């Protein structure tokens, strides 16, 4: 370096797992101790501090300097590992020669700044220089800037040697005789020396005088000329200048023959030094160790011989004599200078050079390297971690031992029960290999028994270039760390097996790698709960290899369960993913294998998504045998499977995709060479969306959309055929076990696929039919021989063991003609939904009957313990021509006790001769619930011969938004017993309620009817005995006749709020209050027509209250 005043700065590295907030930095200059620097701040594990200024404006005159600094008292405690505490550096400040430095000034030389162009020639006497070597810099001294603050552009400097003492001709010199050493801008806007580092060093031998030609080509001028310090020598200077063009004529002699004050900076010809000892700063094994060094030729001459000496712990030096050839400023690396036996402990090693080319090295400040090395015995075998007795009390102590000593065999740490709170950084483990692995595992093999956690904000465990590390059966948990495990600096060949990753926050990335190659990563049998990204592996453009993610459970990640970028041959297999974001997201990867995963989405973005994952004909991507189901959010690029932007040469085989929401199940966007074969693709908006493909081979798929009618579905299939695809595909809905379990037994897709030689098993590992495989992820053998027609039996010895199996057959097998299911005697504990949307009618809609085999409802009991999300025992949805006869159907839950639930459009449906048992508790216990029926559709529903017991309501059809205009209800010959609120609560326009028996000690209303038009209530027997009871309460035009109504302790027999006809009824009131009446007209505008009624009010005085 050049002579100067400079701040002496350093940086401190934190090798600890804890954050360092204070430390002492002790330092010395050429062996003299200086003032200790007391540092405070925050230095996190594995990070450097920002620059620390130990001393401001330290003066460096020409010479050699040794600066040594060491740290102590981290966080006020002791430093247990001293091998990395100390740094020692040597600095060589160049020799310089100061010439013509006297108390004179001149504004003409080296140039006149108030002229735009000019030149000067100065000659310096060799006797005043009296030094040889390489001139690498020169300097001029400004005495007065005269207010000039601009830098001078386009300055040129030329140097040559000469025997002349004067520029005798006074002419502009011939530049061909010079070496141009500098061209560029020079800033003279302050007083003092201005050092100019030369573009080309000049070799000066001190045999002749030194001539410097200075040229100003600035093209600009200052108002006042800058003054330079000058002096007198036996030589002189000449100059010329011009305001418009560069002058080439003869010049003038500078005033009093003065020349510019000048400093010359020389490099030293013969100078060498040791710059590195291999493995310094890290532990080495005890025993014999090679001393492998690098040394450098700092001088000007080529070196051919040098002595390299070393001492260990200040013992007798060893000497290595090197000979060869090393050019100036070059290095010799990996030179083995000796082999020494290092015992256990810390050793001070000193290595230095002497006698370069058999001559003294006068610049000896950079000769020497001093390091401390710790020697220790490598580990091998099994160790115990935890409370005593153990080999290590903490996991951190085990990690530190690996960092310090390495291994020479496979190492296993069995960790005892407990929670271990620390931050860990594991560096590259010396001796680790595919055979010599390092394993951290729970001592008893239970992942919940050992918890690794931290309060640090950045990470929990950092694998910093650490390879061949295994973590087995541990729990990683923290609500503070942004990353749990960091794969840093190309940490490869690492495994995570049987662990739990858990956080209550959405910030944590559980396994994280950013822009590093983390090849041969294995993640198997782990559970990832919550967090931001469960696995985030982002390689670099040199793609990482062979990532295996197998048989893990991912639940509720905020961003992505599995994110992989820049990877070749990732294998993502057998995982279960429950996500409200992205399930599997791959970018810039190839040779992808995604197989046998189960992905359940809730308001999510994508199940499987490829972004520019471009394969080729020899290296195709595979998405096979996956279940993908659930709801995705509303965005154009959301889908069950999305292949975007040249994710080409991808085979999508044997997947079952059942997506709800407004977006598509499969989206192919600007991609080509896609094979889409043997998939089930279902979506209630659009099964598949194809945009700008150049090549799509799609066939033998099953498509379905619940919102399309037959015409729309035929149009969809015709559109595929028009594009020469899917000539063998079908449009039908298979029956799945559930919305999340896409196993099926559908006759319509059984043996309907085409064999694919690459895929020989299904999602369960079962073999595929080699000739006629099934469509979808599940290979099965259908129990169906064809569509159903005729009579079948449900029961232990029947055709179907359960209601569920029988209803599933309507979808799996389809229905050709009328079907009757006769139910064997017994109790069936199951929840049944019969949904016309998923019944496959092969010959138009046909009647379906479910009937007790004995016709006695007491012999067949269907019951279920429902919950708030699915509050029913038997649901009837979007179906026509259904009969349920002679069955006992009952609720088994006291809070959620709906028994039969109607939804959508239900027409020509008969519920007859059944016993329907509800419970008397909350509002969710209606026995027959009709409130989810479609408002605008024409429907006929008949209830006849049923016994309906208990429940908040017997039959409830009140729709809060409007009256069901098209619903026709026939409620005849039923028995309603002990409802809590209403036996009947209905609000449609047309109904016939006749020959029913209604009896309750709790109900407020026998028949409660609203918004009626063609409504007939006749021949019913209503007996109520609760306070404030009403036999019949109506809002609308109703014909009420031939009913027997007995009210005890209640209000009214018939209560009206509109025009009604009341004929031939018998109404008896007992123990009622003074305002009670047999018939009450609640509206002054209503006209009641009352004939031939027998009205008796035993305890009151009102028969008709108008």
CATH number at residue 179: 2.60.120
DSSP letters along 491-522, please? --S-EEES-EEE-SSS--EEEEEESS---S-E
pLDDT at 1016: 93
Q: Looking at residue 206, what is its pLDDT? A: 84
Could you say which of 325, 344, 376 is where a domain stops? Answer: 376
Q: Are residues 616 and 549 in the same domain?
A: yes
Mean pLDDT throughout 787-797? Answer: 96
Task: Examine residue 233 and state whether it is found in any structural domain, yes or no.
Answer: yes
- How are the residues of the chain apportioned to helix, strand and coil, as percentages rounded to the nearest 5? 5, 50, 45
Residue 673 and residue 568 in one domain: yes
| pLDDT score of 365 more than 70 | no
Q: Does residue 354 belong to any structural domain of this protein?
A: yes
Looking at the structure, tell me whether residues 512 and 644 fall in a common domain.
yes
CATH number of the domain residue 18 falls in:
2.60.40.10
**pLDDT confidence tier of residue 16, bands split at 50, 70 and 90:** low
Residue with tokens 């907030």: 21
The answer to whether residue 931 sits within a structural domain is no
Q: Is pLDDT at 924 greater than 80 in this prediction? A: no
- Do residue 186 and residue 164 come from a single domain? yes
Rounded average pLDDT over 532-555: 90
**Dihedral pair phi/psi, residue 257, rounded to 5°:** 55, 35
Tell me: do 599 and 624 sit in the same domain. yes
Shared domain for 151 and 248, answered yes or no, is: yes
Longest dimension (CA), the chain: 152
* 822 or 21: which leads in pLDDT: 822
Q: What is the mean pLDDT of residues 201-211?
A: 89
State the pLDDT at residue 715: 47
Give the long-range contacts of residues 798-803, CB within 8 A, separation 24 or more: 798/822, 798/824, 802/828, 802/830, 803/828, 803/830, 803/832, 803/850, 803/862
Q: What is the pLDDT of residue 959?
A: 61
Q: Identify the residue with better confidence: 451 or 959.
A: 451
| pLDDT score of 1035 | 85
Residue 380 has pLDDT above 60, yes or no: yes
**Which residues constitute the domain of residue 205?**
96-267
| Domain final residue pick, 673, 706, 731 | 731
Domain boundary (233, 267, 301) is at 267
What is residue 941's predicted lDDT score, i.e. its pLDDT?
96
Tell me, yes or no, whether 262 and 122 share the same domain. Answer: yes
- Across 998-1022, average pLDDT: 90
**pLDDT at 1084 > cutoff 90:** no
Do 651 and 568 share a structural domain? yes
Identify the weakest region by mean pLDDT among 61-75, 482-496, 571-585. 61-75
pLDDT at 697: 92
Residues 140 and 172 in one domain: yes
And the tokens for 863? 């019951």
> How many independent structural domains does the chain possess?
4
The pLDDT of residue 709: 44
pLDDT at 713: 46
The answer to the question of residue 925 being in a domain is no
Q: Which of 247-256, 501-510, 712-721 has the lowest mean pLDDT?
A: 712-721
pLDDT reported for residue 720: 53
Does the pLDDT value for residue 716 go beyond 60?
A: no
**Model confidence band, residue 59 (pLDDT cutoffs 50, 70, 90):** confident
Is 627 inside a domain boundary?
Answer: yes
Is residue 960 assigned to a domain?
no
Mean model confidence pLDDT for the chain = 89
99-144 confidence digits (pLDDT tens): 888 888 888 889 999 999 999 999 999 988 887 777 889 999 999 9
Task: Indicate whether 401 pLDDT > 70.
Answer: yes
pLDDT tens for 76-109 read 887 767 667 888 887 766 667 788 888 888 888 8
Please report where in the chains the tokens 């109703």 appear, as a residue: 1038
With 0-12 / 13-18 / 19 or more C-beta atoms within 10 angstroms meaning exposed / middle / buried, residue 354 is middle
Q: Of 598, 595, 532, which Cα lies nearest the Cα of 569?
A: 595
Residue 420 lies inside a defined structural domain of this protein? no
Give the separation between CA 579 and CA 556, rounded to whole angstroms.
5
CA distance 545 to 509: 21
Mean pLDDT to the nearest integer, 774-797: 94
Shared-domain flag, residues 170 and 234: yes
- The percentage of residues in the chain with a pLDDT greater than 90, rounded to a whole number, is 62
**Is 1053 in contact with 1078 (CB distance < 8 Å)?**
yes
CA dist 142 and 127 (Å) reads: 25
Q: Is the pLDDT of residue 700 over 80?
A: yes
Are 258 and 122 contained in the same domain?
Answer: yes
pTM confidence score: 0.65
In this prediction, residue 717 carries a pLDDT of 47
pLDDT-derived band at 925 (thresholds 50, 70, 90) equals: confident
Query: What is the average pLDDT across 451-458?
Result: 95
In a domain, 790, yes or no: no
Query: Is the pLDDT assigned to residue 362 strictly greater than 60?
Result: no
Judge if 617 and 708 occupy the same domain: yes
């Amino acid at each position: 370096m050049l002579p100067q005043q400079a701040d002496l700065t350093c940086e401190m590295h934190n090798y600890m797992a804890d954050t360092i907030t204070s430390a002492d930095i002790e330092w010395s200059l050429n062996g003299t101790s200086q003032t200790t620097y007391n540092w405070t701040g925050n230095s996190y594990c594995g990070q450097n501090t920002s620059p620390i200024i130990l001393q401001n404006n330290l003066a460096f005159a020409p010479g050699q300097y040794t600066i040594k600094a060491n740290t102590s008292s981290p966080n006020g405690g002791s430093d247990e590992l001293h091998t990395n505490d100390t740094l020692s550096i040597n600095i060589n400040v160049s020799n310089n020669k100061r010439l013509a430095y006297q108390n004179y000034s001149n504004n003409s030389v080296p140039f006149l700044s108030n002229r735009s162009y000019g030149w000067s020639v100065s000659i310096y006497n060799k006797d005043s220089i009296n030094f040889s070597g390489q001139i690498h810099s020169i300097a001029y001294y400004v005495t007065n800037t005269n207010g000039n603050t601009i830098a001078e552009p386009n300055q040129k400097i030329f140097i040559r040697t000469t025997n002349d003492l004067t520029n005798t001709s006074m002419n502009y010199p011939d530049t061909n005789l010079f070496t141009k050493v500098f061209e560029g801008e020079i800033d003279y806007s302050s007083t003092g020396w201005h050092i100019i580092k030369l573009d080309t060093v000049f070799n000066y031998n001190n045999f002749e005088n030194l001539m410097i030609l200075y040229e100003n080509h600035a093209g600009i001028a200052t108002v006042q000329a800058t003054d330079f310090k000058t002096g007198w020598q036996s030589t002189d200077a000449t100059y010329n200048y011009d305001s418009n063009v560069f002058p080439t004529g003869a010049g003038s002699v500078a005033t009093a023959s003065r020349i510019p004050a000048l400093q010359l900076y020389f490099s030293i010809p013969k100078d060498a030094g040791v710059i590195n000892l291999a493995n310094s700063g890290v532990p080495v094994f005890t025993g014999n160790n090679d001393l492998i060094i690098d040394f450098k030729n700092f001088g000007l001459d080529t070196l051919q011989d040098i002595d390299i000496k070393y001492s260990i712990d200040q013992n007798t030096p060893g000497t290595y004599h090197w000979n060869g050839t090393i050019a100036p400023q070059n290095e010799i690396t990996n030179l083995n200078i000796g082999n020494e036996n290092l015992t256990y402990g810390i050793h001070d090693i000193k290595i230095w050079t002497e006698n370069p080319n058999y001559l003294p090295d006068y610049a000896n400040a950079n000769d020497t390297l001093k390091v401390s090395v710790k020697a220790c015995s490598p580990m091998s075998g099994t160790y115990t971690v935890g409370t005593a007795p153990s080999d290590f009390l903490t996991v951190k102590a085990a990690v530190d031992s690996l960092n310090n000593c390495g291994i020479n065999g496979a190492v296993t740490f069995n960790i005892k029960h407990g929670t271990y709170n620390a931050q860990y950084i594991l560096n590259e483990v010396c001796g680790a290999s595919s055979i010599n692995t390092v394993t951290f595992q729970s001592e008893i093999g239970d992942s919940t028994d050992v918890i690794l956690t931290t309060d640090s904000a950045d990470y929990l465990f950092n694998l910093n270039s650490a390879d061949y590390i295994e973590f087995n059966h541990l729990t990683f948990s923290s609500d503070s760390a942004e990353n749990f495990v960091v794969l840093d600096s190309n940490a490869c060949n690492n495994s995570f097996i049987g662990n739990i990753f858990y956080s209550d926050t959405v910030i944590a990335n559980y396994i994280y790698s950013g822009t590093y190659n983390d090849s041969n990563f294995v993640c198997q049998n782990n559970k990832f709960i919550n967090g931001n990204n469960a696995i985030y592996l982002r390689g670099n453009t040199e793609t990482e290899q062979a990532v295996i993610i197998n048989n893990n459970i991912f639940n509720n990640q905020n961003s992505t369960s599995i994110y992989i970028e820049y990877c070749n041959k990732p294998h993502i297999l057998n995982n279960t993913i429950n996500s409200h974001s992205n399930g599997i997201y791959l970018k810039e990867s190839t040779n992808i294998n995604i197989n046998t995963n189960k992905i359940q989405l809730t308001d999510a973005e994508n199940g499987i998504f490829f972004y520019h994952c471009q394969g080729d004909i020899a290296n195709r991507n595979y998405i096979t045998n996956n279940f993908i189901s659930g709801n995705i959010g509303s965005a154009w690029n959301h889908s069950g499977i999305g292949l975007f932007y040249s994710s080409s040469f991808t085979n999508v085989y044997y997947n079952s995709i059942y997506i709800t929401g407004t977006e598509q199940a499969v989206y192919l966007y600007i991609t080509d060479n896609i094979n889409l074969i043997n998939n089930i693709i279902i979506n209630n908006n659009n099964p598949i969306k194809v945009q700008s493909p150049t090549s799509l081979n799609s066939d033998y798929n099953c498509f379905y959309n619940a919102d399309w009618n037959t015409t729309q579905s035929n149009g969809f299939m015709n559109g595929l055929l028009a594009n020469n695809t899917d000539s063998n595909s079908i449009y039908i809905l298979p029956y799945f076990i559930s919305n999340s379990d896409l196993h099926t037994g559908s006759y319509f897709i059984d043996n309907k696929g085409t064999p694919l030689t690459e895929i020989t098993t299904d999602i369960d590992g079962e073999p595929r039919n080699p000739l006629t495989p099934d469509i979808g992820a599940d290979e099965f053998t259908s129990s169906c021989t064809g569509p159903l027609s005729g009579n079948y039996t449900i029961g232990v010895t029947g055709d179907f063991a359960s209601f569920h199996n029988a209803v599933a057959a309507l979808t799996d097998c389809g229905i050709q003609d009328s079907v009757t299911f006769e139910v064997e005697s017994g109790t069936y504990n199951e929840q049944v939904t019969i949904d016309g949307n998923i019944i496959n009618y092969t010959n138009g809609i046909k009647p379906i009957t479910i009937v007790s085999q004995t016709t006695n409802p007491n012999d067949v009991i269907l019951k279920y313990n429902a919950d708030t999300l699915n509050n029913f025992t038997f649901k009837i949805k979007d179906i026509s021509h259904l009969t349920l006869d002679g069955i006992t159907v009952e609720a088994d839950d006291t809070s959620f006790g709906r028994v039969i639930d109607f939804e959508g459009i239900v027409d020509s449906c008969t519920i007859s001769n059944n016993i329907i048992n509800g419970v008397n508790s909350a509002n969710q216990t209606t026995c027959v619930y009709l409130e989810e029926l479609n408002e605008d559709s024409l429907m006929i529903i008949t209830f006849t011969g049923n016994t309906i017991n208990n429940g908040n309501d017997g039959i409830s059809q009140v729709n809060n938004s409007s009256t069901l205009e098209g619903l026709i209800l026939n409620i005849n010959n039923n028995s309603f017993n002990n409802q809590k609120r209403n036996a009947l609560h209905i609000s449609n326009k047309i109904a016939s309620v006749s020959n029913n028996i209604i009896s309750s000690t709790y109900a407020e209303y026998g028949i409660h009817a609203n918004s009626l038009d063609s409504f007939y209530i006749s021949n019913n027997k209503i007996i109520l005995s609760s306070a404030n009871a009403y036999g019949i309460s109506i809002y609308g035009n109703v014909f009420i006749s031939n009913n027997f109504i007995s009210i005890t302790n209640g209000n009214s027999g018939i209560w009206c709020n509109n025009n009604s006809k009341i004929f031939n009824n018998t109404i008896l009131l007992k123990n009622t209050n003074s305002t009670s009446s047999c018939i009450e007209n609640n509206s002054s505008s209503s006209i009641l027509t009352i004939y031939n009624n027998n009205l008796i009010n035993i305890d009151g005085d009102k028969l008709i209250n108008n």
